[in-house]
A and B are shown apart, each in its own frame.
Chain A
């Protein structure tokens, strides 16, 4: 199944019944899938909004009203959605946002890229908040992490972003889906706006004019982000047990890097791959523990270097950390990456690892 369709199917199986979006390449197959499937589902609503701004604000409304809701876009569109994402975070509303990244900045191109890592993981919109970000690297993971994104959004009452790229969206792979959830079977949300029948009226807002209350709210959000940081770090370590050199990469870049690692292993080089799955929170604990024996790290990204900052922060300067990047939508081959890795490998302390 095509990656974009996998996300759509997984969302429907996760109980998502509301989708609001605006077309942008390379993710149009996802709204198209939602529109097609929802057409046959009487309890589901698809709206093609007039803009990304409108669609993310429809997400806000649907979330306030208690719906499991998703939107999707690609880089320039996500920039427009940032206003709404900041409000979702502030008002503690769940919602799933899919970003199939393309080359940027500006209109850029529609080729697979990873240039929105900063925007995705640093909040992106204004204010003191974080967005939970998951970076799938396979068809199966697209399915699993889409389900997980909805769960996390509801658990922590926060927007969750699935960060892929055009390659992820187009890739065809066999996938096993989890059992579908009937949204009616989900626990009732005690905070939603559904009309104050037999109860006091409710209010969902982000305007906190009193700076003391705003501060209190920001500390409350911060404590939530701390809890997420403690509990939700996810990563995969591949052939790292005896590795001398480890390449750190996520998403599409991680697939390429895995190919490179396999090639080099075939030549007897002790290299491994560390793949962050949660991009925020960044899995710094697992990465840091590798530095006990791994002698050097190479961060490979399809950007000019963004995640490399998180890697360096995690390693706290304990090991040399190099960067290799191809920005602008160039997808390098495993061979190219293997060449870079072997160069670093043979420069480790001037001699190959024992």
Chain B
């Protein structure tokens, strides 16, 4: 019988701990498929985040080295500078990459560090129980913005990708979503391109992926995906943000 669908080689045979409907599961799969397709499993080094994906190293079957909360791009810089011919990627949530780790991210991008950042934007701090994230959209209720995010009090949603649009060292930045098959296929293409940019030694690459967190948004999986498409994309439109390849 012909096999038409199988587990990517770069994913260990482990069951994800993510909640049903969580975007992390899909994104893990996409990253693993890309690693397989590019044939780079044996020279790939991943840097997992603090956040819901902190256990990513239980799933990716590549060398993985943990970073403190937010510092993934700095750790990845260290790895890449020692082993320039390896493929180094970070996997980070919005709290990780756009709050505590903003400086590390901006400067890794600006240095044109030959690394690839997978930025999972679920508009909330998932792991710590649904607090307000830098990416929480205006009006969105979280445990620390119970009446909804109010810009005058809480500031505006941070659009990190747009901020990095001017980073001279960034070769490719695109924002995608994993809300339907079309978007998912497109996100995979973007992830593939981001890794290719690194393989071609062109500079820093990042894919921001809007990703549902049904648990902390207190929605069904279907509603969560719909909310990404209808509400989140108003603040974070899906588009190529920088491409100098």
Contact = CB atoms under 8 A, between A and B. Distances in A.
Majority secondary structure, B binding face: helix
Contacts of B57: 203, 205
A201 B54 CA distance: 17
Interface in A324-352: none
A47 B68 contact: no
A65 B66 contact: no
A61 B66 contact: no
Contact of A207 (B66, B77, B83, B107): B66
B63 interface: yes
A65 B79 contact: yes
Contacts of B26: none
Interface residues of B, number: 36
Contacts of A194: 45, 63, 83, 86
B148 to A, nearest CB: 32
B104 A54 contact: yes
A139 B66 CA distance: 37
Given A54-B107, A195-B86, A18 B78 contact: yes
Contacts of A63: 78
Contacts of A54: 71, 74, 77, 103-104, 107
Given A59-B78, A64-B79, A207-B54, A193 B104 contact: no
Contact of A201 (B55, B62, B82): B62
A284 interface: no
A57 B74 contact: yes
Contact of A64 (B60, B75, B103, B106): B75
Given A67-B82, A195-B42, A91 B66 contact: yes
A69 B61 contact: no
B20 to A, nearest CB: 21
B78 A201 contact: no
B81 A57 contact: no
Interface in B78-132: 78-83, 86-87, 103-104, 106-107, 111
A29 B60 CA distance: 42
B142 to A, nearest CB: 24
A61 B44 CA distance: 14
Nearest to A68: B82
A85 to B, nearest CB: 11
B76 interface: yes
Nearest to A194: B83
Contacts of B205: none
B81 A49 contact: no
Contact of B65 (A20, A83, A193): A193
Most B-side CB within 10 Å, residue of A61, A62, A64, A67: A61
Contacts of B44: 195
Contacts of A202: 63-64
Contacts of B179: none
A203 B66 CA distance: 8
Contacts of B45: 65, 193-195
Given A195-B44, A195-B86, A58 B81 contact: yes
A54 B106 CA distance: 11
A123 interface: no
A62 B81 contact: yes
Given A193-B45, A195-B43, A57 B86 contact: no
A197 interface: yes
Contacts of A64: 65, 75, 78-79
Contacts of A201: 60-64
Nearest to B55: A207
Contact of A193 (B42, B54, B64): B64
A206 interface: yes
Contacts of A196: 41-42, 61-63
B67 interface: yes
A124 to B, nearest CB: 15
Contacts of A45: 81-82
A67 B78 CA distance: 9
A58 B76 CA distance: 7
A353 B203 CA distance: 72
A60 B78 contact: yes
Given A201-B62, A203-B57, A204-B64, A65 B82 contact: yes
Most B-side CB within 10 Å, residue of A50, A69, A206: A50
B78 A204 contact: no
A58 B74 contact: yes
Given A61-B77, A63-B78, A206 B43 contact: no
Nearest to B41: A196
Given A195-B44, A197-B43, A204-B65, A47 B83 contact: no
Interface string B160-190: 0000000000000000000000000000000
21 contacts: A18-B82, A47-B111, A49-B107, A57-B78, A61-B47, A61-B67, A62-B81, A64-B75, A65-B79, A65-B83, A66-B82, A67-B82, A84-B68, A91-B66, A193-B45, A193-B63, A195-B62, A195-B87, A197-B42, A204-B66, A205-B65
Given A54-B104, A61-B65, A203-B65, 12 more contacts: A18-B81, A58-B78, A61-B78, A61-B79, A62-B78, A64-B65, A67-B81, A69-B82, A91-B65, A195-B42, A203-B64, A207-B66
Interface of A: 18, 20, 45, 47, 49-51, 53-55, 57-67, 69, 83-84, 87, 91, 193-198, 201-207
**Top 8 A-B pairs, shortest CB-CB distance:** A61-B78, A57-B74, A65-B82, A62-B78, A195-B43, A58-B78, A57-B71, A61-B75
